[in-house]
Chains A and B, each alone.
Chain A
Amino acid sequence: LRREKEQRLRQRRLRDLRALALGQADFQLQDTSGTPRSRADLLGRWVLLYFGFTHCPDVCPEELEKLCRAVELLEGVPGLPPVQPLFITVDPARDDAAALGRYLRDFHPRLQGLTGTAEQVRAAAGAFRVYVSAGPPDPDGDYVVDHSVLTFLLGPDGLVRDCYGRSRTAEELAKSVRGHMESYEPLPP
Chain B
Amino acid sequence: PARMAAPTREERTACWGARDEFWQCLDSHGDDAAKCEKLRRAFESRCPQQWVKHFDKRRDFLKYKKKLETEGYVPPEAAGKS
Cβ contact within 8 Å between A142 and B50? yes
Q: Looking across the interface, which residue of chain A has its beta carbon closest to that of B55?
A: A57
What is the interface of chain A, defined by CB distance below 8 A to chain B?
Answer: 54-55, 57-58, 61, 94-96, 99, 102-103, 106, 135, 138, 140-144
Whether the Cβ atoms of A144 and B6 lie closer than 8 Å is no
Contact of B6 (CB < 8 Å), options: A103, A135, A141, A143: A103
Check B49 against A138 for contact (C-beta < 8 Å). yes
Residues of the B chain whose Cβ atoms lie less than 8 Å from the Cβ of A103: 6
Which B residues lie at the A interface, using CB under 8 A?
Answer: 1, 3-9, 12, 16, 47-51, 54-55, 58
Contacting residues, chain B, for A58 (C-beta < 8 A): 16, 54-55, 58
* Shortest distance between the CB of B50 and any CB in chain A (Å): 5
Q: Are A142 and B12 in contact (CB under 8 A)?
A: no
* CB of A143 to closest CB in B, whole Å: 6
Which of A58, A102, A138, A144 neighbours the largest number of chain B CB atoms within 10 Å of its CB? A58
7 smallest beta-carbon distances between A and B, as pairs: A54-B6, A57-B51, A106-B9, A57-B54, A142-B50, A55-B6, A144-B50
Q: Shortest beta-carbon distance, B19 to chain A, in Å?
A: 9
- Decide: A99 near B5, CB < 8 A? Known: A58-B16, A61-B12: yes
B64 → chain A closest CB, angstroms: 18
A95 to B6, CA, bound (A): 9
A143 / chain B contacts, CB cutoff of 8 Å: 50
Q: Is chain A's interface secondary structure helix, strand, loop, or mixed overall?
A: loop
Q: Which residues of B contact A99 (CB under 8 A)?
A: 3, 5-6
Partner of B3, one of A94, A138, A144: A94
**Within the assembled complex, what's the spacing in Å between the Cα atoms of A135 and B53?**
12
Contacts of A106 in B (CB 8 A): 8-9
Residues of B within 8 Å of A57, CB to CB, are 47-48, 50-51, 54-55
Do the beta carbons of B4 and A141 come within 8 Å of each other?
A: yes
Q: Which residues of A contact B50 (CB under 8 A)?
A: 55, 57, 135, 138, 142-144
A94 contacts which chain B residues (CB < 8 A)? 3-4, 6
On whether the beta carbons of A140 and B49 are closer than 8 Å, the reply is: yes
Q: Is the beta-carbon distance between B4 and A142 smaller than 8 angstroms?
A: yes
- The chain B residue with its CB closest to the CB of A61 is B12
8 of the cross-chain contacts (CB-CB < 8 Å) are: A57-B55, A94-B4, A95-B6, A99-B6, A102-B8, A106-B9, A138-B49, A142-B4
Provide the residues of chain A in CB contact with B1, threshold 8 Å. Answer: 141
